Amino acid sequence: MIFKRAVAKLKAQDWMAIGIEIVIVVIGVFIGTQVSNWNNARIERGKTEQLARDLQPELRNQAENYRQLIDYYSVTRRYGDTAFAGWRNDPQVSDRDFVIAAYQASQNLFSGTNTASWGQIFGSDRLRDLENPRLREPLSILMTTDLAAFEKDLSTDYRRDVRMVIGEDVQDAIRARCGDRRVGLNYIGLPRTCTLDLPEARFTETAKALRANPKLAGELRYHFAIVATYVEILRELDDLTRAALQQIKRA
């Protein structure tokens, strides 16, 4: 109808009326486009918020994983303190405890975190749709942190060298009796104490061999410097995960 009126006015050379009609058409198209864009953006934000809510189980699992790793390395550190005492010839540390602690201090556990799958589901485009910066910022860090880059550094010289000194029978016994243990469905822990049924002579011999390699104590110090950095990263990621979960619940 509006185009028929425009044609009629064009024939009558009513230029002002034609201009007004064109302006009305342009404004109508502009408003229609803006409304459509706003509606599409609203729909996309809704989808993004739902995806964020769907991430909650995975975020909770990750928070549990970080706490598990922090606890695990607190146990290896306690074994490390006993091992250091053994190298200092502390009379309160038996050869048995020294040998077991020297081995357990070298134990490693990795996160197995795969944030690539998060990125595929919840990519950078989706992150931009999140209006809440207190949710957007921690999620962006969590989805781009590659723990594998830090975990490869945990295989230090100490882990290799101490296992070259301790006999295979002692190592096998420690792994069998005091190695990583599954607690519940997802939790893996390291026993805080370890008792082995091996002759005392084996521990005496092994303790002597360990003390004959004093550089191992230095390597253990370096090993725990690497572990400390890794644990600090885990604590930061745990804090970010908790913060993200808190913001999702408030949404």
> Predicted confidence band at 37 (pLDDT cuts at 50, 70, 90)?
very low
pTM of the model: 0.79
The pLDDT assigned to 22 comes to 64
Q: Quick one: 79 and 135 in the same domain?
A: yes
Place of tokens 């995960």: 241
Q: How far apart are CA 224 and CA 219, in angstroms?
A: 9
Q: Quick one: 23 and 121 in the same domain?
A: no
Q: Quick one: 45 and 152 in the same domain?
A: no
Q: How far apart are CA 185 and CA 7, in angstroms?
A: 77
For 207-249, write each residue's pLDDT tens digit.
999 999 999 999 999 999 999 999 999 999 999 999 999 988 8
Q: Quick one: 94 and 41 in the same domain?
A: no
- Phi-psi category of residue 244: left, alpha or beta, with phi > 0 → left and psi -120 to 50 → alpha: alpha
Q: Quick one: 34 and 63 in the same domain?
A: no
DSSP state of 91: T
Q: Which domain holds residue 186?
A: 59-250
Q: Quick one: 63 and 38 in the same domain?
A: no
Q: Quick one: 5 and 107 in the same domain?
A: no
Q: Quick one: 71 and 104 in the same domain?
A: yes
Q: Quick one: 98 and 219 in the same domain?
A: yes
DSSP string across 177-226: HHS-EEETTTEEE--S-----S-HHHHHHHHHHHHT-THHHHHHHHHHHH
Say how many domains are in the chain. 2
Structure tokens at 95: 């050869």
> Predicted confidence band at 145 (pLDDT cuts at 50, 70, 90)?
confident
Q: Quick one: 188 and 85 in the same domain?
A: yes
Q: Quick one: 159 and 49 in the same domain?
A: no
DSSP string across 135-151: HHHHHHHHHH--THHHH
The pLDDT assigned to 248 comes to 85
DSSP state of 131: -
Q: Quick one: 124 and 45 in the same domain?
A: no
Out of 54, 80, 96, pick the residue that ends a domain: 54
Share of the chain above pLDDT 90, in %: 52
pLDDT at 41 over 60: no
The pLDDT assigned to 102 comes to 98
The pLDDT assigned to 144 comes to 81
